[in-house]
Amino acid sequence: MKKRGEAGGQIYETVTYLILLVIFFVGMLYFVLQQQSGAGIWEQYYAKELVKIIDFSKPGDALILDVQRGSEIAKKNGVLSFSTMFVFDNAAHEVCVKLNTGGKRTCHNYFNDADVAEVQLQLAGGKNAEGMDVNVLSFKIVDRQRRDLGGERV
Amino acid sequence: MNSLLHRKSFGRRGEVGAMTMAVLFLFYLALIGVAILSGHFIFYGKGYDSRQVEAELLAMKVRSCIQEQTVIDKLFFEKLHERCALEKGVVEKFYNLRVCKNSAECISETQPLIGLGSKFQACRFDAATENESYPRCAFVRFKQGNDWFEIITISSQESRRNLG
């Protein structure tokens, strides 16, 4: 009787430990695999590079950026629609980049008081230095438009 | 009776031992977790830092704006954001900007033409370039007519993770 009781208690403890261990390692593995694609660092890279380009530009400029690497990472992470990868918020002067299916995206602000318009992601729309087709992001810088909610300037 | 008591006290000692093992187990898990996270952050580093370039871009933009003006007066600097197409909210939140005219040292100038922010003293430190916690500064000095202008800009913007 005593031994069966002890055995039952030991099994209970062992199973509890095993469950905790499995939960812990699954969590760690998920975290490491998420980071392995480097989506976080590439989101930062694209957001900051886009901000630099926008800050350097003037109204009337048309810009094209090679986003082949970013779109490869997004596809690998299960992003179904490339149109959600790059989002420009003219009201907040913000560029947001999302290369994964998680709930968060990386955002960065630009100080140029201009709007970004005609944003297009073209698959195989450009060529790299080796002459290979690459995905490109194109957009135009235009004068700041008045906001309907009482914008600051025309 | 004695054997019952003996059995009860034996049960309590066993429970204390089991609890100690559980705490030790959780401690080992935490240790492994910390090791994995530390390795990750050491390998991937702190991210992509573009503050220096952002500060230089702002300084360059303000310089171009001043150079395009025919009249540079107090009103121009009061409306600098509008005249130079700068988004006021973003500049005030993430940047420091100081413009001086005919000043020996703009950082310690008591009456700059425009002074947004107060972290400029950190720009003097040579060691600041090695320390990521220090802001990134850009200096531009140029002559316009008979006057020397000096522009100092600092960027402290970090990218954010927003829901969306």
Query: B42, B84, B94, B159: best mutation site toward chain A, by most A Cβ within 10 Å?
Result: B159
What pLDDT, on a 0 to 100 scale, did the predictor assign at position A154? 29
Which H or E run contains B106?
none
pLDDT average, residue stretch B118-126: 79
Nearest CA-CA distance, residue B121 and chain A, Å = 23
Nearest CA-CA distance, residue A73 and chain B, Å = 16
Nearest CA-CA distance, residue B25 and chain A, Å = 8
Which chain B positions have a beta carbon within 8 Å of A114's beta carbon? 85
- The tokens of A132 are what? 């290979």
pLDDT average, residue stretch A103-107: 87
Q: Rounded to an integer, what is the distance from CA A52 to the centroid of its chain?
A: 17
Whether chain A has a CB inside 8 Å of the CB on B24: the answer is no
Nearest CA-CA distance, residue A117 and chain B, Å = 17
Q: Kindly tell me if the per-residue pLDDT of B7 is higher than 80.
A: no
Whether chain B has a CB inside 8 Å of the CB on A24: the answer is yes
What pLDDT, on a 0 to 100 scale, did the predictor assign at position A152? 37
Confidence of residue A37 (pLDDT cuts 50, 70, 90): low
Q: Kindly tell me if the per-residue pLDDT of B128 is higher than 90.
A: no
DSSP character at residue B79: T
The residue with greater pLDDT, A22 or B10, is A22
Collapsed DSSP state (helix, strand, coil) of residue B146? coil
Cα–Cα dist A116/A90, whole Å: 7
Q: Kindly tell me if the per-residue pLDDT of A153 is higher than 60.
A: no
**Cβ within 8 Å, pair B87-A111:** yes
Whether chain B has a CB inside 8 Å of the CB on A12: the answer is no
The residue with greater pLDDT, B140 or A8, is B140
What pLDDT, on a 0 to 100 scale, did the predictor assign at position B116? 86
Which chain B positions have a beta carbon within 8 Å of A33's beta carbon? none
Q: Kindly tell me if the per-residue pLDDT of B3 is higher than 70.
A: no
The residue with greater pLDDT, A85 or B38, is A85
Amino acid identity at B119: K
Confidence of residue B13 (pLDDT cuts 50, 70, 90): low
Q: What is the DSSP string of A24-84?
A: HHHHHHHHHHHHHTTHHHHHHHHHHHHHHHHHH--TT-EEEEE-HHHHHHHHHTT---GGG
Of A102-106, B79-83, B87-91, B150-154, the range with the lowest mean pLDDT is A102-106
Please tell me whether the interface predicted TM-score (ipTM) of this complex is above 0.90. Answer: no
Q: What is the pLDDT of residues B23-58, one digit of tens each?
A: 888 888 888 888 888 887 777 666 788 999 999 999
Q: What is the DSSP string of A91-153?
A: TTTEEEE--SSSSEEEEEE--B-EEEEEEEEEEEEEE-TTS-EEEEEEEEEEEPPPPTTT-S-
Cα–Cα dist A80/A78, whole Å: 6
Confidence of residue A44 (pLDDT cuts 50, 70, 90): very high
Phi/psi region, residue A60 (left: phi>0; alpha: psi -120 to 50; beta: rest), is: left
Q: What is the pLDDT of residues B59-118, one digit of tens each?
A: 999 999 999 988 888 888 888 999 999 999 999 999 999 999 999 889 888 888 888 888
- Which residues on adjacent β-strands are paired with residue A140? A62, A117
**pTM value surpassing 0.90:** no
**Cβ within 8 Å, pair B50-A48:** yes
Q: Kindly tell me if the per-residue pLDDT of A107 is higher than 60.
A: yes
Nearest CA-CA distance, residue A9 and chain B, Å = 10
The residue with greater pLDDT, A152 or B45, is B45
**Cβ within 8 Å, pair B164-A51:** no
* Of A41, A43, A111, Cβ closest to residue B91: A111
Cα–Cα dist A38/A34, whole Å: 8
pLDDT average, residue stretch B4-15: 50
Whether chain A has a CB inside 8 Å of the CB on B50: the answer is yes
Cα–Cα dist A14/B36, whole Å: 24
What pLDDT, on a 0 to 100 scale, did the predictor assign at position A60? 95
Which chain B positions have a beta carbon within 8 Å of A144's beta carbon? 85
Whether chain A has a CB inside 8 Å of the CB on B40: the answer is yes
Whether chain B has a CB inside 8 Å of the CB on A89: the answer is no
What pLDDT, on a 0 to 100 scale, did the predictor assign at position B16? 67
Whether chain B has a CB inside 8 Å of the CB on A30: the answer is no
Across A37-41, B3-7, B138-142, B157-161, the highest mean pLDDT is recorded for B138-142
* Of A28, A107, A153, Cβ closest to residue B159: A107
- Select from B17, B122, B74, B23 the least CA-distant residue to A10: B17
Cα–Cα dist B116/B138, whole Å: 14
What pLDDT, on a 0 to 100 scale, did the predictor assign at position B98? 93
Confidence of residue A81 (pLDDT cuts 50, 70, 90): confident
Looking at chain A, the whole-number percentage of residues with pLDDT higher than 90 is: 47
Whether chain B has a CB inside 8 Å of the CB on A98: the answer is yes
What pLDDT, on a 0 to 100 scale, did the predictor assign at position B26? 85
